[in-house]
Amino acid sequence: MALLPILRYPDPRLHTVAKPVAAVDARIQRLIGDMLETMHDATGIGLAATQVDVHERLVVIDVSEDHNDPIVLINPEIVWASDEKQVTDEGCLSVPGIYDGVERAQAVKVKALDGQGKERIIDAHGLLAVCIQHEMDHLLGKVFVEYLSPLKRNRIKTKMLKERRQAERA
């Protein structure tokens, strides 16, 4: 396994719409392992392939306290979302250090393939539901800051660009 570089907002590649995974083969299984290692190393709870510059519909999630219960979603599709909404402070490995409230469905039902290519349905509530919706947005080329006001989004963009310039100089 290997740590993968995570794209940082406002990198335009984060806005690429992911294509379906054609086959769950050794390449995808290696990518799953690399993504899980990368997510855990960055102390995240979710990572979409888009964030590591692989534009295929693959998400890894682990919201367990011990970070030992990973969920793999290949070609995920939300088949139901609750009418009840909740606002949760979200963060993102592609927008480090930034957290803000985003309104999402409290519960979702997702159909996807697992890491072995078997179909599964997940009924998700609370943090898992939020995480699934957040990561699936990445597959559509959407970053959570796009839910924020233009003023907040521009401030975040300016901050991220400044941090990138400082890192390049160091």
Answer yes or no: is 15 a known binding residue.
no
Q: Is 125 annotated as a binding residue?
A: no
CATH at residue 79: 3.90.45.10
Q: Global pTM?
A: 0.96
Residue 6 lies in a domain: no
Residue 131 annotated in ligand binding? no
- Which of these is catalytic: 37, 56, 119, 135? 135
**Does residue 54 lie within any of the structural domains?**
yes
pLDDT of 67 above 90: no
| Cis peptide leading into residue 96 (ω within 30°) | no
Distance (Å, rounded) from C-alpha 115 to C-alpha 47?
A: 15
Q: Report the domain count for the chain.
A: 1
Question: What is the per-residue pLDDT across 11-64, written as a single tens digit (0 to 9) for each?
Answer: 999 999 999 999 999 999 999 999 999 999 999 999 999 999 999 999 999 999
Is residue 46 included in any domain, yes or no? yes
Range of the domain at 53: 12-168
Q: Could you tell me if residue 156 is inside a domain?
A: yes
DSSP per-residue letters across 85-139: EEEEEEEETTEEEEEEEEEEESEEEEEEE-TTS-EEEEEEEHHHHHHHHHHHHHH
Residue 5 lies in a domain: no
Q: Is 143 exposed, middle or buried (0-12, 13-18, 19+ CB in 10 A)?
A: buried
Q: Is 135 a catalytic residue?
A: yes
Question: Can you give the pLDDT at residue 149?
Answer: 96
Which tens digit of pLDDT belongs to each residue from 86-142?
Answer: 999 999 999 999 999 999 999 999 999 999 999 999 999 999 999 999 999 999 999
Is position 1 within any domain? no
Residue 143 lies in a domain: yes
Residue 7 forms part of a structural domain: no
